[in-house]
């Protein structure tokens, strides 16, 4: 479970409790903040020193969580992978070839192709697991009933492909899944054998369930994910080019005058200006906020975006004033 957006470590909680303990009940504040009553003592008021006290004062729960978030971040993993191959390249120059994959990360179109493999990652892994289970079931059947068909002879040398379960399973997984016609293409034909009918059923069902269904599902997951990601990118691009991101008013409304939409998104409702304003509030002390900044900051902390002028702009207000004055 991830931490909330605004996480209060024990140091912040101590400051809050010290600030409001004179005005409010100490025990109530402790329960509200989830702190033990004994954690606030005269010893905490004294500035502790030493390595032991420094270690004890570290909020390990938060630090472990933060380290976990960093380690599992895709950007960090990619940088770590890139750095590792850079070091290995100093010992063998062939490792530098892995850096060519950075081309795929640098272009959005190629990055979408890579994301299509991981987009439905859970479903893809589960489907591969199901494929492995089905192949193992066929391995058990082959090992018990059709083992003689897996003996291949070349130049008077006998090559047994199913003399034990592990070898038989690897052979089915490697040869059977890769073969276009299933496992039947890789073993001896059952012509005239007593088990001919059962072998035909074995080969056909393996081909149907493994080659036609499961492999097609795996390919379909990747292809569908690529199409979905491509449609999302095109939808976002089309929406950004036809509507203002801030107010949501369409391009047709502003293009009644030449270059009206471009002027609006670059000057009146520039996204960079709004981002700069939010960063300004984050770095500015809350005691120095103006009334408007306090309102926006409170909305931002609640992740409520109603302070954005959705459906409104200066031009529309001006037209409304003119129409109201004319009436």
Q: Which of 131, 212, 204 is nearest to 172 (CA)?
A: 131
Do 81 and 60 share a domain, yes or no? no
Please give the structure tokens belonging to residue 255.
């293009």
Decide if 27 is inside a domain: yes
Decide if 113 is inside a domain: no
Decide if 1 is inside a domain: no
Do 180 and 194 share a domain, yes or no? yes
Per-residue buried b or exposed e for 38-55, using 16+ beta carbons within 10 Å of the residue's own CB: eebeeeeeeeeeeeeeee
Question: According to the model, what pLDDT value does residue 12 have?
Answer: 66
Do 90 and 61 share a domain, yes or no? no
Q: What is the mean pLDDT of the chain?
A: 80
pLDDT in tens, 1-40: 444 445 555 666 777 777 776 777 777 777 766 665 544 4
Handedness of CA 317, 321, 322, 327 (dihedral sign): positive
Q: Which residue has the tokens 């912040």?
A: 12
Do 97 and 38 share a domain, yes or no? no
Decide if 242 is inside a domain: no
**Paired residues of 250 in beta bridges:** 243
Instruction: State the pTM of this model.
Output: 0.60
Do 218 and 263 share a domain, yes or no? no
Decide if 116 is inside a domain: no
Do 256 and 269 share a domain, yes or no? yes
Do 14 and 51 share a domain, yes or no? yes
Question: According to the model, what pLDDT value does residue 6 have?
Answer: 53
Decide if 67 is inside a domain: yes
Q: Is the pLDDT of residue 43 over 60?
A: no
**Paired residues of 296 in beta bridges:** none
Do 163 and 205 share a domain, yes or no? yes
Q: What is the mean pLDDT of residues 171-176?
A: 88
**Total count of domains within the chain:** 4
What is the CA 281 to chain-centroid distance, rounded? 29
pLDDT in tens, 273-290: 888 988 998 888 878 888
Do 188 and 141 share a domain, yes or no? yes
Q: Which residue has the tokens 């504040």?
A: 29
Decide if 266 is inside a domain: yes
DSSP letters, 62-88, are: HHHHHHHHHHT-HHHHHHHHHHHHHHH
Rounded alpha-carbon distances, angstroms, from residue 130 to 138, 201, 302: 13, 21, 44
pLDDT in tens, 137-165: 999 998 888 888 887 766 667 677 788 88
**What is the C-alpha to C-alpha distance for residues 254 and 264, in angstroms, rounded to an integer?**
8
Domain of residue 202, residue span: 121-228
Do 156 and 202 share a domain, yes or no? yes
Do 140 and 199 share a domain, yes or no? yes
The confidence band for 87, taking pLDDT boundaries of 50, 70 and 90, is very high
Decide if 147 is inside a domain: yes
Q: Which residue has the tokens 């954005």?
A: 308
């Amino acid at each position: 479970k991830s931490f909330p957006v605004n996480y209060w470590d024990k140091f912040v909680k101590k400051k809050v409790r010290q600030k409001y303990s004179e005005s409010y009940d100490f025990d109530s504040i402790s329960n509200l903040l989830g702190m033990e009553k004994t954690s606030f003592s005269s010893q905490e008021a004294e500035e502790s020193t030493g390595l032991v006290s420094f270690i004890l004062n570290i909020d390990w729960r938060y630090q472990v969580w933060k380290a976990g978030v960093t380690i599992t971040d895709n950007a960090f993993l990619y940088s770590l992978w890139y750095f590792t191959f850079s070091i290995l390249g100093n010992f063998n120059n062939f490792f530098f070839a892995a850096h060519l994959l950075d081309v795929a990360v640098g272009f959005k179109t190629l990055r979408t192709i890579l994301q299509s493999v991981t987009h439905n990652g859970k479903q893809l892994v589960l489907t591969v697991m199901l494929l492995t289970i089905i192949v193992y079931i066929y391995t058990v059947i082959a090992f018990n009933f059709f083992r003689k068909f897996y003996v291949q002879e070349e130049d008077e040398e006998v090559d047994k492909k199913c003399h034990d379960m592990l070898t038989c399973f690897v052979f089915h997984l490697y040869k059977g899944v890769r073969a276009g016609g299933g496992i039947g293409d890789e073993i001896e034909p059952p012509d005239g054998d007593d088990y001919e009918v059962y072998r035909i059923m074995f080969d056909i069902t393996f081909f149907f369930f493994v080659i036609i269904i499961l492999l097609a599902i795996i390919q379909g997951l990747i292809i569908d994910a690529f199409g979905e990601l491509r449609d999302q990118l095109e939808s976002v691009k089309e929406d950004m080019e036809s509507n203002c991101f801030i107010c949501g008013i369409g391009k047709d409304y502003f293009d009644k005058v030449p270059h009206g939409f471009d002027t609006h998104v670059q000057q009146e409702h520039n996204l960079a200006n709004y981002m700069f304003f939010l960063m300004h509030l984050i770095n500015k002390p809350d005691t120095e906020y103006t009334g408007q900044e306090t309102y926006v900051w409170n909305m931002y902390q609640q992740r409520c975006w109603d302070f954005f002028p959705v459906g409104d702009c200066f031009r529309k207000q001006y037209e409304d004033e003119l129409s109201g004055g004319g009436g």
